[in-house]
Amino acid sequence: MRQLIPIACILILAALMHFGVMPLVGGFYGKLLMDIGINVILAVSLNVVNGFTGQFSIGHAGFMAVGAYVAATLTYYVTLRTGAGGQGLFFAACIAGGIVAGLAGWIVGLPSLRLRGDYLAIVTLGFGEILRVTLQRTGDVVTDAAAARSMRLVELTTHVGGALGFTGLPFYTNGFWVVLFAGIAVLAAARLKTSTHGRAFVAIRENEVAAEAMGVPTTRYKVQAFVVAAFFAGIAGALFAHEVGVTLNPRELGFQRSFDIVIMVVLGGLGSVTGSALAATALTIIPELLRGFAEYRLVVFALILIVVMIWRPQGLLGNRA
């Protein structure tokens, strides 16, 4: 029964966000809060791979893209073909996006996680770029209901807007869903860190050869970490795709996005769940605070990061919490 208390707290916070905070702040600040939640999911999930197991993945936005496009395809074309829609469909689409992204993580991770260090980074980067180019070459979005009904759903997955982006998506993402999934991601990562699997992840990070000598199946555990991280990245992608003011476009989910997520993890502290969440929050807010600097905004942002990393090379919280 005590294990349900954190879930109940997350549900209460999600309801308060949706019914209390969002109506008060609305508009720009409401979107900023949702962006923070999405980035928290991305940073915490990547920390499972880069922080807990000590691997170096720089293709996290690729799994985000998988979840985004799977969820978008379901919500858009199911509604177009059947007229069904609403928050129930959106929840199912988010879970489907996470599952397919997790499957993609398993497919990519199984062969590539036998590699280490820079080689793994190159493979994950290549996956993200291949996916981005593939999405840019897809066909235009089908807008005619009769035409959509005459095509199989598998065929419709090749009509997701290409380089112009997937337009016409419903704006289902709200404060409730963002806080719910962000809370679950943080809770899952924290529980995972202190579990038997988490201790195996840390053993791999500290000394993979010694872990293998002690009988730890390192490849299996690394793949599991990859799948968990990809699953939550897929959910974050689904939330991003249906956010107000967003046009789902492959350019938004390329290497730059992956790099931003890596910065959040490193800045917060490799292995620190709380640190990743704090860094994701800070790195979402700071660029908005610097908008007054116009073209110097990115320079000031980079200088802040450099100063912080010189001051705390181990990250804000190291590998604690």
User: 267 lies in a domain?
Assistant: no
User: 260 lies in a domain?
Assistant: no
State residue 320's pLDDT score: 65
User: 312 lies in a domain?
Assistant: no
Number of H helices, E strands in the chain: 15, 0
More confident residue, 84 or 50: 50
In the predicted structure, residue 281 carries a pLDDT above the cut 70 = yes
User: 285 lies in a domain?
Assistant: no
Q: Which of 265, 228, 257 is nearest to 240 (CA)?
A: 257
In the predicted structure, residue 115 carries a pLDDT above the cut 80 = no
What is the rounded end-to-end Cα distance, in angstroms, of the chain?
24
Mean pLDDT of the chain: 89
In the predicted structure, residue 164 carries a pLDDT above the cut 70 = yes
State residue 321's pLDDT score: 67
Q: What region does 248 belong to: left with phi over 0, alpha with psi -120 to 50, or beta? A: beta
d(CA 97, CA 129): 19
State residue 182's pLDDT score: 97
Rounded mean pLDDT of 219-230? 92
Q: What is the pLDDT of residues 40-60, one digit of tens each?
A: 999 999 999 999 998 888 999
User: 316 lies in a domain?
Assistant: no
Kindly indicate the confidence band of residue 289, based on its pLDDT and cuts at 50, 70 and 90: confident
Share of the chain above pLDDT 70, in %: 97
User: 307 lies in a domain?
Assistant: no
In the predicted structure, residue 255 carries a pLDDT above the cut 70 = yes
In the predicted structure, residue 63 carries a pLDDT above the cut 90 = yes
User: 48 lies in a domain?
Assistant: yes
Q: Which of 92-101, 158-167, 303-312 has the highest mean pLDDT?
A: 92-101
Enclosing domain of residue 173: 4-254
Domain count along the chain: 1
pTM of the predicted model as reported, rounded to 2 decimal places: 0.93
Q: Which of 8-17, 117-126, 154-163 has the highest mean pLDDT?
A: 8-17
d(CA 60, CA 253): 9
d(CA 76, CA 87): 13
d(CA 35, CA 19): 18
User: 262 lies in a domain?
Assistant: no
d(CA 223, CA 212): 15
